[in-house]
Structure 1
Amino acid sequence: MNDKITINKLSIQKNFNDNAKTYDSVASIQKKCAKLLVDLLIKNFPDFIPLTIADLGAGTGYVTEYLLKFYPDSRYFLNDFALAMLDITRDKFKNYSNIHYNSNDIETLNLDYQDLIISNFALQWTTNLELIIQNLRLRSRILVFSTLLSGTFKEWSDLYQDFGLPRPISDYPTQKELEDYCLSLKPENYLFRCEDFSMTFDSPLAFASYLKMLGANTNITGSENHYLREIIKNHHLPIKTNYKIFFAILEGR
């Protein structure tokens, strides 16, 4: 698995901070995946009652919002690299005394052992996916996460290649690569699932605007803006593209 991806952490942090207020208006797929993660956990581990829960890459709190319905008395630790996102989450849960917050990079976070670590749509922003999965697995009784797979936004990437431009999408791992790696950690129990979510945009500009409102436009900065302008200028048809998402639950003491 190509686990070392060149990522500009400061750019990621800035984009999510700058677009925190628009995130909820466009993050429908992220919200569906948050619910699916929690549903998979509840269905497959119905007797599991975690005393401590860490929601990493908590964003605006979708995962914790669902978890609170099942685990209202657990102690929650919410972490997100983007302080503006976390501020929205803090306001959402202002009446909960059992939720604590921290803004830090997941890869350098000094995290105590947790009964449950859960992360939705965040691990793809790390520089070493294998290492972060291993570390989180060792610090939790149950690790639950979703991350992007190879083929995500393939149509967008293909459009760039059609115009002879550099690919704008990171190289995400394949389903087999992730499954093989997770199994190499020898979990006592595990569950894997993959889902595709299709989206259609009226134009390249509409898709680029969508990414910006999510704060996920890290690759559309600096010199890449010139490539984006070329696409917008020369392609006027709608774009249909997919999220390909890997879901995993790993249990082991």
Structure 2
Amino acid sequence: MPSDPSNPYLLDKRKTRLGFERAANTYDANAVLQREVGSRLLERLDLIKMQPATVLDLGCGTGAVSEHLLKRYKKARIIGIDLALNMAQKTCQRGGWFRKPRAVCADAARLPFQPQCADMLVSNLMLQWCNDLPAVFSEFAQALKPEGLLMFSTFGPDTLKELRASWGRVDGYTHASRFTDMHDVGDALLQAGFRDPVVDMEIITLTYADVRGLLRDLKGIGANNATYGRNHGLTGKARLQAFLQAYEYFRLEDGHYPATYEVVYGHAWASKLLPSKLPEKFIPIMRSQP
């Protein structure tokens, strides 16, 4: 989704970053879904027969994926990248005393590394925070060595459909991001020059004893509403109560409340061909750390 100031679903990057900065200390206690999806994503590496020298963990959060990659690829450099400095610092604390991941506070859409710096890029539930997916994939393609691997997960359009429908009965503001369809993700990969893309999806439904539990989880991981079409004032008790009442429509027979997540998984390979000329003024990867 390209940058369009008139688009209410465009994400405010500053608001996104601040949400994750504030949630660094509460993220792990609330990131049940993120851990599960990350585990399922990493299981797919069992089918990939390669031993990368350098792996970038894009949107590393507190470093759970980076720590797994350290154990899987014992001779590789693992470098996390996150928009929030506090998250990147948490990643640096992972691992043992003898080996830890590095981490860089940076925007995944503008990686501060030299081209062809990595053999593998892994990204767990970060891409949904990017406004222009084809541009981000193009940045990833530049970062990969020829025949390097990109493996990722993100959210599809049915994610949080109950929350969006419930708020839709209350007001006309945007209350959640608009997520990219699986087929459009595949098209964006091809547009960026990746080859042999494979994209699939699954539905994961979390249930809560009350809707406020869902809201607490979203706040605890830093997943605030960063759309430009959001209400920039206070929500107010009356509107919140109206939202909670609207969510009653989705209550299950056992009394719990569902939160649907459409999880999109994908991988693709960088081109076999070297570009004829590399861009200049990139930071060497060995010098990029907090």
Task: Answer yes or no: same fold by TM over 0.5.
Answer: yes
- Which residue type is aligned with residue 59 of structure 2? G
Q: Shift of the alpha carbon at 1:182?
A: 2.2
TM-score scaled by structure 2? 0.78
> 1:37 is matched with which residue: 4, 21, 41?
41
For 1:67, give the aligned amino acid.
L
The answer (yes or no) to whether the contact 2:134–2:192 under 8 Å persists in 1 is: no
Question: For residues 80 and 12 of structure 2, what CA distance do their matches in structure 1 show?
Answer: 23
Structure 2 unpaired stretches of 5+: 4-8, 273-290
Residue matched to 2:275? none
Instruction: Provide the rounded CA distance (Å) in 2 between the counterparts of 1:241 and 1:20.
Output: 23
* Alignment partner, residue 119 of structure 2: 115
Cα distance per residue 1:58-96 (max 9 Å; x no partner): 011121222222201101211111111222221223624
- How many residues get paired? 250
- The match for 1:225 is 235
Question: Which of 112-121 and 155-164 deviates more?
Answer: 155-164
Query: What is the deviation of 1:128?
Result: 0.9
| Superposition pairs of residues 4-43 of structure 1, within 5 angstroms | 4=3, 5-43=9-47
- What letter corresponds to residue 66 of structure 2 in structure 1? T
CA distance in 1, matches of 2:231, 2:104: 27
Q: Secondary structure at the match of 2:173?
A: coil
Which residue matches 2:178?
171
Using a 3 Å threshold, how does the CA distance of structure 1 residues 9 and 188 change in structure 2: closer, same or farther?
closer
Q: Do 2:123 and 2:153's aligned partners in 1 also have CA atoms closer than 8 Å?
A: yes
When normalised by structure 1's length, the TM-score is 0.88
Q: Which residue in 1 is equivalent to 2:84?
A: 82
Residue in structure 2 matched with residue 93 of structure 1 by the alignment: 95
Q: Alignment partner of 2:154: what SS?
A: strand
The equivalent residue for 1:197 is 204
Which has the higher Rg, Structure 1 or Structure 2? 2
> What is the SS of the residue equivalent to 2:93?
helix
| Letter in structure 2 aligned against 1:8 | D
Kindly state the Cα deviation for residue 108 of structure 1 after the two structures are TM-superposed. Answer: 2.3
Q: What is the CA–CA distance in structure 1 between the aligned matches of 2:171 and 2:225, rounded to whole Å?
A: 21
Cα distance change of structure 1 residues 90 and 229 upon mapping to structure 2, 3 Å threshold: farther
Aligned to 1:151: 158
**Contact residue 91 and residue 101 of structure 2 kept, 8 A:** no
Equivalence for 2:269? 251
**Alignment partner of 1:67: what SS?**
helix
Alignment equivalent of 1:213, drawn from 212, 220, 229? 220
1:184-203 CA distance string (max 9 Å, x none): 44544332221211011233
Correspondent of 1:129 among 123, 127, 133: 133
Distance change in 2, residues 1:165/1:185 (3 Å): closer
Partner of 2:267, secondary structure, is strand
Percent identity of paired positions between Structure 1 and Structure 2? 23
Counterpart contact for 1:50–1:116, Cα < 8 Å: yes
**Amino acid corresponding to residue 49 of structure 1 in structure 2:** Q
Structure 2 CA distance for partners of 1:160 and 1:74, relative to 1, 3 Å: same
CA distance in 2, matches of 1:105, 1:147: 17
| Maintained 8 Å contact 2:128/2:180 | no
Show structure 1 runs of 5+ residues with no match.
none
